[in-house]
Structure 1
Amino acid sequence: MTQDRRPLRVAMIGYGFMGATHSVGWRQAPRMFVLPAEVEMAVVVGRNADAVADAAATWGWAESSTDWREVIARDDIDVVDIVTPGDSHAEIAIAALAAGKHVLCEKPLANTVAEAEAMADAAARAEAKGMRSMVGFTYRRVPAVTLLRDLIAEGVVGTVQQVRAAYRQDWLVDPGMPLAWRLQKEHAGSGALGDIGAHIIDMTQFVTGQKVEAVTGVLDTIVTQRPLQGAGSGLSGTAGEGVGDVTVDDVAIFTGRLAGGALASFEATRFATGRKNALTIEVSGSAGALAFDLEDLNSLQFYDRTTPEDRQGFTKILVTEPVHPYVSAWWPAGHMLGYEHGFTHQVVDLVTAVVDGTSPHPSFEDGLSVQRVLAAVEESSENDSTWVRTEAPAKVR
């Protein structure tokens, strides 16, 4: 370590699937990267005392608690990491910022635009006092995605003319899958749209540097009732007795107009039979094209229209060289990274911003931008796929 300051002590609120991934990030970052400050995994918080204590022991947190308000009031906590369902993001984040903590919040930022606006306002007030905040669109930090953004900014595809983005999963195809919190609007805000559609909206805005200005689309719920949740929780819980209504979408298909004029197509579905975690994006431009597939996350496909005709075609860029984003801290060239590494890179960027006093990205304003697109898609679907504007054009940092 090169820093000369006390460690940053972290409290994580929530301990489900995202709790595991964030814990990996907090644990791995100081072991693989030279951070400007030490990191201490101080406390993890959850409602079930026994379960959260087990999570603390398993993932390496020093202690556990069942009271997030008490934890964020502690003087020895510097960073609050929020991995709870969306219905509690605003309350926890705003309270943590008011308490003088830096905040990392999982995506989507909130369940409504109003909540996201309140969070962005709180973040702006806190930033004036030195507090940093960031929303967890972790796929930005896959090295190939960061490189994709950099290459577009360099102009290798020329003028962006069209974007195709999709996130396809199949974990809800079985109608016997229990009614988890992700299927209830009061907890999740929306279904496939917010859960995975938020990722492809943010990725499109991130790699192109352009906001989605207007959308038209449709939402659908394929299985409208499911068995009530029994033992367990999250995606692995068992079915209980009786059924409950699914109050969110299963499929979201929409078109967007980017600030630069290009059209983008989006598909977010949890009913793509056979697709487990298939996030793809392809950006077509006047001089070439770039494509990324999360199921082949160590590479990019690049098409260069300026090459001679007899040598044209998509070529594979293996994104494992030390010169590529984030890669130099890991393994020799050609040794692959995985899903979990983005969470480590997230910690690196947040800790660096906190110590340097810079604004990390994606910011709560970026999260608010995505939230406005989500709301516009819902409005469009409710009004027979009319075009709905999101916000004034602006560049994504």
Structure 2
Amino acid sequence: MIGYGFMGAAHSQAWRTAPRVFDLPVDVEMAVLVGRNADAVADAAAKWGWAEAATDWREVIARDDIDLVDIVTPGGSHAEIAIAALEAGKHVMCEKPLANAVDEAEAMTDAAERAAARGIRSMVGFTYRRVPAVTLMRDLIAEGRIGRVQQVRASYRQDWLVDPAMPLGWRLQKEHAGSGALGDIGAHAIDLAQFVTGLEVTAVSGVLETIIRERPLQGSGSGLSGTAAEGTGEVTVDDLAIFTGRLSSGALASFEATRFATGRKNALAIEVSGDAGALAFDFEELNVLQWYDRTAPNRVQGFTRIIATEPEHPYVAAWWPAGHMLGYEHGFSHQVKDLVEAIAGGTDPHPAFAEGLHVQRVLAAVEASAAQDSRWVGVDAPAEA
């Protein structure tokens, strides 16, 4: 695994846990954790259960004993690492968003397709797909339980940037993060809407806003820029993105991605309305799926609260008895399960890099729309209104 921040902890937990919970078809060895700071990465490797630590990812992916590379670094390094790993014959798991720009994502997808011809698999980490309630939502829509999809509402709201004293970290610098709330959490909302409906976003109209444009610089050595802990620096990404999307069926979807929703800590929510019913999910009620059946008699109509912890629900049978709730970390274990099973079975895992590329094109189209007074922009031609 390359990188050892917040996502490094989550992925490490998944690599430790999935082989002990699910009957995986192959053994998994957590061989090497890679980072730039030798002492820090060694400490992380010991804490999280990696056999050894290293500081040169190029040397690690050249090793014969490495079969798979898990990339959890900032988006600006995804393309270089993923392409090199695929060309070295390694399977690749890459965190979202796939890259910082469409051309990088296109190069990664081309490399993945070439590698697939040699039996090398790749996947992008849109982990929320693996929440049992979300996968159940997808299944129910596919079964026709809400009829024809007519409208989608998706939002991802956080509040960790409301305080203007929050330092200028890498997520607020375009050269490292690509974009702000739009790419970091808006990408999840886009992928979730497409995953559960089976539809694609084909055009967008949106607006972006940077609410706080200057923030205190981080201390020397604590940030990617290595700046001194004096003065302020410019925030070069968005804090808030609001946009409308046209889906491939013709239906409309509304999206919001913000780090300024005061009081909302990690509120990823999606509601899909159809002509026969509706389904709604909110990550702040992780184990709950709301279902409205419009075909039921009027006197019993209303949203039904499904607790998605039954053995019949996706992924759940391997865990606890019904009603014993799952948490944030379980989605990452489900991701490992699906990836390892696909590699062992010789099939392409999902979401593939091509799916990550489409999300990247949606993000680029939103930015293009915002730069053109919110004009509608096609996803396949983001430079054209």
TM-score grouping bracket, smaller chain normalisation: over 0.9
Give the Cα–Cα distance (whole angstroms) in 1 for the partners of residues 104 and 139 of structure 2.
Answer: 32
Instruction: Write the deviation string for residues 88-123 of structure 1: whole angstroms up to 9, x where unpaired.
Output: 000000000000000000000000000000000000
1:350 corresponds to which letter in structure 2? L
Give the Cα–Cα distance (whole angstroms) in 2 for the partners of residues 147 and 238 of structure 1.
Answer: 46
Q: What's the CA shift for 1:234?
A: 7.5
- In 2 relative to 1, CA 50–296 (structure 1 residues): closer, same or farther, beyond 3 Å? same
Give the Cα–Cα distance (whole angstroms) in 2 for the partners of residues 130 and 229 of structure 1.
Answer: 44
- Does the aligned pair in 2 maintain the 1:44–1:61 contact within 8 Å? yes
How many residue pairs are counted as aligned between the two chains?
A: 380
- In 2 relative to 1, CA 238–22 (structure 1 residues): closer, same or farther, beyond 3 Å? farther
Give the Cα–Cα distance (whole angstroms) in 2 for the partners of residues 120 and 214 of structure 1.
Answer: 21
- In 2 relative to 1, CA 233–313 (structure 1 residues): closer, same or farther, beyond 3 Å? farther
Give the counterpart of 2:136 among 128, 138, 147.
147
- Partner in structure 2 of residue 338 of structure 1: 327
Q: After the TM superposition, which residues 323-362 of structure 1 pair with which residues of structure 2 at under 5 Å, given as runs? A: 323-362=312-351
User: Is 1:219 matched with 2:198?
Assistant: no
- In 2 relative to 1, CA 238–316 (structure 1 residues): closer, same or farther, beyond 3 Å? farther
> 3-state DSSP class of the match of 1:13?
coil
2:206 corresponds to which letter in structure 1? G
Give the Cα–Cα distance (whole angstroms) in 2 for the partners of residues 192 and 234 of structure 1.
Answer: 19
> 3-state DSSP class of the match of 1:51?
helix
Q: After the TM superposition, which residues 196-207 of structure 1 pair with which residues of structure 2 at under 5 Å, given as runs? A: 196-207=185-196
- Partner in structure 2 of residue 9 of structure 1: none
Give the TM-score normalised by structure 1.
0.94
User: Is 1:46 matched with 2:29?
Assistant: no
Q: What's the CA shift for 1:299?
A: 1.1
Give the Cα–Cα distance (whole angstroms) in 2 for the partners of residues 50 and 59 of structure 1.
Answer: 14
Give the counterpart of 1:248 among 203, 215, 237.
237
Give the Cα–Cα distance (whole angstroms) in 2 for the partners of residues 228 and 197 of structure 1.
Answer: 25
What is the RMSD of the two structures over their aligned residues, measured on CA atoms? 1.5
Give the Cα–Cα distance (whole angstroms) in 2 for the partners of residues 256 and 229 of structure 1.
Answer: 37
Instruction: Write the deviation string for residues 263-285 of structure 1: whole angstroms up to 9, x where unpaired.
Output: 00000000001100000000000
Q: What's the CA shift for 1:232?
A: 7.3
1:150 corresponds to which letter in structure 2? D
Q: What's the CA shift for 1:230?
A: 1.4
- Partner in structure 2 of residue 278 of structure 1: 267
User: Is 1:92 matched with 2:102?
Assistant: no
Q: What's the CA shift for 1:226?
A: 0.5
- In 2 relative to 1, CA 309–231 (structure 1 residues): closer, same or farther, beyond 3 Å? farther
User: Is 1:163 matched with 2:152?
Assistant: yes
Q: What's the CA shift for 1:242?
A: 1.3
- Does the aligned pair in 2 maintain the 1:177–1:239 contact within 8 Å? no
1:386 corresponds to which letter in structure 2? R
Give the Cα–Cα distance (whole angstroms) in 1 for the partners of residues 312 and 292 of structure 2.
Answer: 21
Give the Cα–Cα distance (whole angstroms) in 2 for the partners of residues 292 and 22 of structure 1.
Answer: 24
- Partner in structure 2 of residue 117 of structure 1: 106
- In 2 relative to 1, CA 138–241 (structure 1 residues): closer, same or farther, beyond 3 Å? same
- Partner in structure 2 of residue 6 of structure 1: none
> 3-state DSSP class of the match of 1:377?
helix
> 3-state DSSP class of the match of 2:229?
strand
Q: What's the CA shift for 1:391?
A: 2.9
Q: What's the CA shift for 1:231?
A: 6.2
Give the counterpart of 1:320 among 309, 313, 318.
309
> 3-state DSSP class of the match of 1:289?
strand
Moved beyond 4 Å, runs of 4+: 231-235
Q: Runs of 5+ in structure 2 lacking a partner?
A: none
- Does the aligned pair in 2 maintain the 1:227–1:239 contact within 8 Å? no
- Partner in structure 2 of residue 80 of structure 1: 69
User: Is 1:21 matched with 2:1?
Assistant: no
Greater shift, 225-234 or 113-122, is seen at 225-234
Q: What's the CA shift for 1:239?
A: 9.0
- Does the aligned pair in 2 maintain the 1:178–1:239 contact within 8 Å? no
User: Is 1:186 matched with 2:175?
Assistant: yes
Give the counterpart of 1:381 among 367, 370, 385.
370
1:46 corresponds to which letter in structure 2? G
User: Is 1:268 matched with 2:224?
Assistant: no
Give the counterpart of 1:35 among 24, 32, 36.
24
Q: What's the CA shift for 1:241?
A: 1.2
User: Is 1:369 matched with 2:358?
Assistant: yes
- Does the aligned pair in 2 maintain the 1:254–1:265 contact within 8 Å? yes
Q: What's the CA shift for 1:238?
A: 12
Q: Runs of 5+ in structure 1 lacking a partner?
A: 1-11, 393-397
Give the Cα–Cα distance (whole angstroms) in 1 for the partners of residues 338 and 140 of structure 2.
Answer: 20
> 3-state DSSP class of the match of 2:268?
strand
> 3-state DSSP class of the match of 1:41?
coil
> 3-state DSSP class of the match of 2:176?
helix
Give the Cα–Cα distance (whole angstroms) in 2 for the partners of residues 232 and 336 of structure 1.
Answer: 40
